[in-house]
Structure 1
Amino acid sequence: MTRTDPRGRTLRAVHYLVLALVLVLLVGPLVVPLLSSFKSGQEDLFGANADVLPRQWSTHAFADLFEKIPMGTYMANSAIVALLSIVSNVALATTAGYMLSRRGWRGRNAVFYALIAAMMFPFESVMISLFAQVRDLGAVDTLIGVWLPGAVAVLNVLLMRAAFLALPKEIEDAALLDGATEWQRFWRIFLPNAKGVLTVITLTTFITAWDEFLWPLVVLRSDENFTLMLGLASLQGAFGFDYRVVLAGALVALVPVAIVFFAAQKHFFRGMEEGGVKF
């Protein structure tokens, strides 16, 4: 089937039409409400008289957002939690995944199945016990208390284990013949060959920490310690039902995630392919 074949052109047109439809269905419900944050106060947000695009573009909602709410503090708190989560997840998931990928030590399978079993329990089922532990550590109403339960994710450990198991054994054997130590093999051979999966872990950890709402709501008490999602939740109380300001806050929260994702998307999808092996 050549490019000039009418049937081939029809199939390509159908493919593009389906992709365009999927794009509208996925992005439309997100973009259309966010455009409302740029509408002036005289325009309707909902109803028969509401337009998709603003008739008069205005940034008044964003000015109100940063004037009345300490968005800089909230974003800084979320950034601190996200940075701590990324560092701990990368460090602990890589080392734990490497240990689980090593053959020959007793109890490896027991630890592996215990991690699998831990994934069966939803976070809400252990939230009370986690709060009790954080309270006993004196970390309530602190960013450390927000970070601790997400210091390492079981799925990240399993992803790193899968990535390390996928490395050909001949490469490690060659390093052993050259006299490489355990640390040298881990740092110079295994980690460089798992960059894609590391990107996946970094990106998903950042998004999870940045968007987390339930656990910060349970742990935090002081307004100056609020993360971004808690700050956005307070918009309704501070501004009533001014949806323009709420949507402006949602757009501000979305910008860092979009920037990070688009900057790392090439490595992210490559990492998804590398991680597409059996656990």
Structure 2
Amino acid sequence: MKPGTKPLSLLVRYAALLAWCCITIGPFLWLLSTSLKGSGENLFAYPPAWLPAEPTLDNYSRVLASQPFGRYLANSLLVAVAAVLSNVLFSSLAGFALARLQFAARGLLLALLMASMMLPFQLLMIPLYQLAVSLGLRNSFLGLLLPHACTAFGIILMKQAFEAVPPALDEAARMEGVSTPRIWWHVYLPLVKPTLATLAVFSFIAVWGDFLWPLIVIDEPARFTLPLGVNRLANTFSLDWRLVAAGAVFSLLPVMTVFAFSQRFFIAGALKGAVKE
């Protein structure tokens, strides 16, 4: 407890955090509960039953038997990993250039990047789709990767992280004759690992949960991602919410795993920036 902090004030803070935790985790717990309920239980009973009367994994086995979720999982993993690697690479390069290099129209480019973040994806999906078709990327994994290969958010995030690194490190490296690419790789990247992890987590979640763009650019079931596979369950089983919930829980497990393993870096990047103490 910090000096001067009143016990009542601390109790109110913890109560508010607990209430907010219940609000945020409640939908997931309900989803998990629905996926474990048998066909004899009423999902819309009032008051709602949070715990299944007779928990069963039959919904998961039916989902896995009816849909090639293994293929959907592999497709999603391939696109997500490729998107994370490309976004981290290109965003860090662009962010380094904006933070440390002086060139014409630097301010204008930064303003355009920030302005592009205000445009909703629905406004960009038609020209993106035309670009994907013209490049022959329809029904391909490269087409799925196209909108996520490099993002304005990632560039600005990395720019802020690089600007937090003391310029004296850059100057010392240049006095030793180190080239700009090697400064970026050997000097700056090791100091912004928390921010890189934060960007990787954000990119993975965005790509993993993307539904609209794969729905537009992919129509071959063999190349479906998990969100498209879960949506397909609604048509296969006439909207049986137990099976849809089971498919949704199955699709959430990789995201939870990634966040669990990167939580330490993610929190450090979100709270402290990218300065190595």
Contact in 1 for aligned 2:194/2:274 (Cα 8 Å)? no
Residue 276 (structure 1) shift: 8.7
Instruction: Quote how far apart the aligned CAs of 1:274 are.
Output: 4.1
Partners of 1:21 and 1:45 in 2: how far apart? 25
Among 252, 256, 259, which residue is 1:258 paired with? 256
Once the two structures are superposed, the pairs formed by residues 103-252 of structure 1 within 5 Å of their partners are 103-252=101-250
Check conservation: 2:165, 2:274, Cα contact below 8 A: no
The within-5 A match list for 1:24-63 is: 24-48=22-46, 50-63=48-61
Partners of 2:162 and 2:274 within 8 A in 1: no
Structure 2 residue runs of 5 or longer lacking an equivalent are none
CA distance in 1 between counterparts of 2:215 and 2:45 reads 33
Separation (CA, whole Å) in 2 of partners of 1:165 and 1:19: 33
Question: What is the alpha-carbon distance in structure 2 between the residues aligned to residue 150 and residue 13 of structure 1?
Answer: 43
Q: Distance in 2 between matches of 1:180 and 1:274?
A: 28
Task: Return the alpha-carbon distance in structure 2 between the equivalents of residues 115 and 271 of structure 1.
Answer: 22
Query: Which stretch has the larger CA shift, 47-56 or 262-271?
Result: 47-56
Match of 1:91 in 2: 89
Deviations 1:60-111 (A, max 9, x none): 0000010001101111111111011011101110111111112432222222
- 3-state SS in 2 of match to 1:191: helix
- Output the amino acid matched with 1:17: A
Check whether the contact 1:163–1:274 (CA below 8 A) recurs between aligned residues. Answer: no
Partner deviation per Cα, 1:215-265 (whole Å, 9 max, x = no partner): 000000111111110010010100112111100011111111111111111
**Could you tell which deviates more after superposition, 115-124 or 207-216?**
115-124
After superposition, the Cα gap between the structure-2 partners of 1:49 and 1:107, relative to the gap in structure 1 and judged at 3 Å, is closer
Deviation at 1:160, TM superposition (A): 0.8
Question: Match of 1:43, SS?
Answer: coil
**Aligned residues: CA RMSD:** 2.0
Inter-partner Cα distance in structure 2 for 1:169 and 1:276: 14
Mark the runs of 5 or more structure 1 residues left unpaired by the alignment: none
1:184-237 per-residue CA deviation (whole Å, 9 max, x = no partner) reads 211111101111110011111111110000000000011111111001001010
* Counterpart in the other structure of 1:21: 19
Pairwise CA distance, 1:275: 4.0
Shift of 1:183: 2.1
Q: How many residues align?
A: 275
Aligned residues of 2:193 and 2:274 also touching (Cα < 8 A): no
The worse-fitting range, judged by mean Cα deviation, of 73-82 and 30-39 is 30-39
1:270 corresponds to 2:268: yes
Separation (CA, whole Å) in 2 of partners of 1:162 and 1:152: 16
Please, what TM-score do these two structures have when normalized by structure 1?
0.92
Instruction: Read off the aligned partner of 1:267 and give its amino acid letter.
Output: F
Q: CA deviation at 1:152?
A: 0.6
Give the deviation of 1:16 after TM superposition: 2.2
Q: Is the 8 A contact 2:31 2:249 kept in 1?
A: no
Q: More displaced, 103-112 or 67-76? A: 103-112
**How far apart, CA to CA, are the structure 1 residues paired with 2:77 and 2:118?**
29
